[in-house]
A and B are shown apart, each in its own frame.
Chain A
Amino acid sequence: MHVVPQLIVSTILLGGIYALIAVGLTLIFGVMRVVNFAHGEFLMLGMYLAFWAFALLRLDPYLTLVLSLPLIYGFGWLSYRMVMRPVIHASHNVQIFTTVGLSILLQNVALVLWTADSQFVRTSYYAVVVRLGNAVLNLAQLVAFAVAVLCTAALFAFMRWSYTGKVMRATAQDRAVASLMGIDTGRVFALTWAVGVTCVGVAGVLLAPIYPVYPTVGLQFVLIAYVAVVLGGLGDMAGALLASLIVAAVEVIGSYVIGTAWKEVLYLLLFIGILVVRPAGLFGQRGAEAIGT
């Protein structure tokens, strides 16, 4: 029983990391109906940004986070203009191949520029922990979790109450009608993509003091983020957060009780089980995947 508090804490912290990645993914899918297979590579770029800022300029990752927000947003916007805009009205197959191609391109650019070596941002506080009774919390993970909750809440509020958010939701519901109402859907897509990339870029900077970075690091996280996004309901921020916590709980508790070798089997079984009962995910609207197409 003495391990229960630690298992709960580990679940929350790991779930926070997954949520941080999933929230950008679900935003892009929810509004644009594009499954971004390059999402993990944007995460990787965020991690490298933090690493090089630390290695070359001795910039703390959290300072890098603040300073680099416009840079990440700009990169997201640029990648939309150069890669996604030409295929935004193309079929899903074309979009899938485009984002997979972007993913491979970014991985290999990273490999050529920075080699395949694992790099680690060893800050002075990398081993600092917060003790909560029997449980131990890594400080960097705690920050990542707090930012994940903050990001999700901010995006939720933005989408629900801001004018731009309403415009984005209108575009998500029916892009043709939105166009007829005078909405510049091209700008909405550019904004959505850039915000989604910014979310995952922020996640990358925050993960740099926790995990080593290497060119294929994105793959390590993004599959689980896909599971969380579908489980939570495509396009639903709060659903993605909750689903991330569920996946993390299955992973952590399953690893402890049954064995780590079973963790993927366990969360994928849960994933299939939930989709059988609720095909649109926990919070998704039935037929949401078809809305706006």
Chain B
Amino acid sequence: MRYVKWALVMLGFAAVALGIDAVQGQQLTGEYKIGVLEPLTGNLAVQGKLHLEGYEIMRDLINERFGGVMGKKLVFVTGDAVDPTVAASEATRLATREGVKIISGTFSSTLCGAASEAASRQNVIYWESSCVDPRLTRRGLKNVFRTEIDGTGFGWYNVEFIAKHLAHRLGKKTSELRVAYLSEDSSYGQSVTESARQRAKQEFGMQEVGLEYYTFTTNDLTPIILKLKNANPDILHHIARDQDAILFWRQAREQNFQVKAVVHAGATGYGAPGFGKAFGNDANGPFALLEPGPGLIIEKMRPEGQRIERAFREAVKAKTGSDITGGHQLAGGGLWILKLALDAAKTDDLDRFRAAVLAMDLPVGSAVNGWGVKFDETGQNSNARVQHYMLQWQGGQLVTVWPEEFTTNRAKWIPLGAWDQRK
């Protein structure tokens, strides 16, 4: 009898294990090809390559452990979208010569408009995983979808953080906060900045004490810093692209520009790994609205979200040898939702695919990055479902600090102290 019990227990374990591995062991029949369009050369290549790496790691994970897409092995054909003109021609090439029905990319707000227009002309689905230009989904194009929030969402979250967290940490009412806005002048920077300005003023009555746009290849930001010193803001809302964040931080230090907090949004500028590499511990202090980083309490996510989140983080670590970055998370998160949509639609026919996408309704915590899914008629995933997190440079790395219920870390240096005391 004892042997029978043991046998039953072992059978039970085997059944559970088989259930878990049922998807993993699923035989994939044939291939399903999509186009991935990213800037792999030129000024935007830093982020473009990170995004492509995120796509590839998630693709391999989907094929090896999550049953491919529609039961087929997912494969990529890539294009290099170095600028808007090339983005459009590459999108056309992927559709006409490579025969793909879905193009995903292009991360940058300077590229996604041109690429999606070209995809639309070829009646191909355009699946954007990162670009935040609000205009992308406001053109009535039925083939365009975006998994990431748009620029207005970034601005919304940044002001939420300033109003709900920084204000009381600084001992001020929101109407007493003096905010200066500084941004690189692409549609990404402008959309985030303008939405933040609007919400800060209209909902919270924050005082705007400065507004400045600049080209991200500017060679000297000292004049701007002098103006900011005169304006004396509490908060600097700075949307930077890449090397401009490094230049600004160095020159702000030289000029001993003191501000109580610096808030950024996105995987560029202060949100890019290069910022930490450039300064080490001297990078400590600025905040960047991103996907979740170290400190995230994954257990707060739903079980299905936890499973893919853990698997993706481990895969990135195994492939790159370093922690996951914002670029990986946006691309991987976007591709995962595309897989869910294709599995639900079981086809890439535009009308049926669109119907399946609009019918998806997953709560926050269901997918990679703790995201949920609820697309509206414009093809935009709901800002409220795409949970974002505030990260801060601490000890030379970006760690998750807000919302506090999702993280083990706490925001430091509020207000920012002297430059040499942020250790």
Contact = CB atoms under 8 A, between A and B. Distances in A.
Asked if chains A and B come from one complex, the reply is yes
A253 B226 CA distance: 11
A17 interface: yes
A252 B256 CA distance: 19
Interface in B205-264: 212-215, 217-224, 226-227, 230, 242-243, 246-247, 250-251, 253-256
A264 B49 contact: no
Contact of A7 (B214, B226, B230, B247): B226
A158 B73 CA distance: 67
A256 B46 contact: no
Given A126-B250, A212-B274, A261-B185, A256 B223 contact: yes
Contacts of A255: 214, 220, 223-224
A214 interface: yes
B226 A122 contact: no
Nearest to A115: B49
Contact of A219 (B212, B217, B221): B217
Interface string A120-151: 10100011010000001010000000000000
A120 B278 contact: yes
A214 B212 contact: no
A116 B50 CA distance: 10
Interface stretch (B37-45, B301-309, B312-320): B37-45
B13 interface: no
A120 B254 contact: no
B223 A7 contact: yes
B219 A17 contact: yes
Nearest to B213: A261
A221 interface: yes
Contact of B223 (A17, A129, A216, A252): A252
B135 to A, nearest CB: 20
B129 to A, nearest CB: 19
Given A10-B220, A116-B46, A122 B213 contact: no
A93 interface: no
Contacts of A136: 254-256
Chain A interface SS verdict (over half): helix
A263 interface: yes
Contacts of B243: 118, 211-212, 214, 217
Interface string B33-73: 00000000111011011000000000000000000000000
Interface string B62-96: 00000000000000000000000000000000000
Given A14-B219, A216-B42, A260-B218, A119 B277 contact: yes
Interface in B259-273: 272-273
Contacts of A215: 45
A251 interface: yes
B51 to A, nearest CB: 12
Nearest to B39: A116
B117 interface: no
Interface string A258-275: 011101100000000000
A263 B214 CA distance: 9
Give chain B's interface secondary structure class: helix
Interface residues of B, number: 42
Nearest to B247: A211
B217 A260 contact: no
B217 A220 contact: yes
Contacts, number: 111
A113 to B, nearest CB: 13
A10 B222 contact: yes
A157 interface: no
B133 interface: no
Nearest to B280: A122
A256 to B, nearest CB: 4
Contacts of B230: 3
The residue among B48, B220, B246, B253 with the most chain A CB atoms within 10 A of its own CB is B220
Interface in A233-287: 248, 251-253, 255-256, 259-261, 263-264
Contacts of B185: 261
B274 A118 contact: yes
Interface string A207-234: 0000110111101110010000000000
B282 interface: yes
A126 to B, nearest CB: 7
B226 A3 contact: yes
A98 interface: no
A120 B215 CA distance: 20
Given A256-B227, A260-B224, A118 B278 contact: yes
B213 A221 contact: no
* Residue in A10, A14, A248 whose Cβ sees the most chain B Cβ within 10 Å: A10
A19 to B, nearest CB: 13
Contact of B220 (A117, A212, A251): A251
B418 to A, nearest CB: 13
A140 B227 CA distance: 24
B223 A260 contact: yes
A127 B253 contact: yes
Given A7-B226, A136-B254, A260 B246 contact: no
Given A127-B254, A212-B278, A220-B219, A256 B226 contact: yes
A127 B255 contact: no
B214 A116 contact: no
Nearest to B255: A136
B350 to A, nearest CB: 34
Interface of B: 41-43, 45-46, 48-49, 185, 212-215, 217-224, 226-227, 230, 242-243, 246-247, 250-251, 253-256, 272-274, 277-280, 282, 419
Given A127-B253, A219-B217, A260-B215, 20 more contacts: A3-B230, A6-B255, A17-B219, A111-B41, A116-B46, A117-B46, A118-B274, A120-B274, A136-B254, A136-B256, A212-B243, A212-B247, A214-B242, A215-B45, A217-B243, A248-B220, A251-B219, A259-B213, A261-B213, A261-B215
23 contacts: A3-B226, A6-B226, A14-B219, A14-B220, A116-B41, A116-B46, A116-B48, A118-B246, A118-B278, A119-B274, A127-B250, A129-B254, A136-B254, A212-B274, A214-B242, A216-B42, A220-B219, A224-B219, A251-B219, A252-B222, A255-B220, A256-B223, A260-B218
7 A-B pairs with least C-beta separation? A116-B45, A120-B278, A255-B223, A256-B223, A260-B214, A118-B274, A212-B243
